[in-house]
């Protein structure tokens, strides 16, 4: 499963919504993701992937940014250094 699909599934499970019509540009806020939910998602990403996202990581604003964040951390890199 791609990181984008995993990110979408995360949101679907967390919010109980169907993201079939969402794409990378869909803003998380329009899906009902508030700052607390986003923080919880970040903690879940860390827990499920066994990585540290990093304190200075800018929060993702879109589904695409969330997927990119998950790709970076899954590759063993923090989102902050992006390298």
Indicate whether 81 belongs to any domain: no
User: pLDDT higher for 7 or 25?
Assistant: 25
Residue 37: burial class (beta carbons within 10 Å; 0-12, 13-18, 19+): middle
Residue 47 belongs to domain with CATH number:
1.10.1200.10
User: pLDDT higher for 16 or 28?
Assistant: 28
Give the domain range for residue 44: 3-74
Which helix (H) or strand (E) segment is 35 a member of?
helix 35-49
Q: What is the pLDDT of residue 21?
A: 76
Q: What is the pLDDT of residue 27?
A: 93
Mean pLDDT of the chain: 79
Give how many domains the chain has, as a whole number: 1
Q: What is the mean pLDDT of residues 22-40?
A: 88
């Amino acid at each position: 499963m791609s990181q984008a699909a995993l990110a979408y599934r995360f949101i679907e499970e967390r919010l109980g919504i169907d993201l079939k019509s969402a794409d990378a540009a869909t803003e998380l806020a329009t899906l009902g993701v508030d700052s607390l939910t986003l923080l919880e998602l970040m903690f879940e990403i860390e827990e499920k992937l066994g990585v540290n996202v990093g304190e200075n990581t800018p929060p993702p604003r879109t589904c695409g940014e969330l997927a990119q964040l998950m790709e970076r951390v899954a590759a063993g890199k923090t989102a902050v250094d992006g390298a």
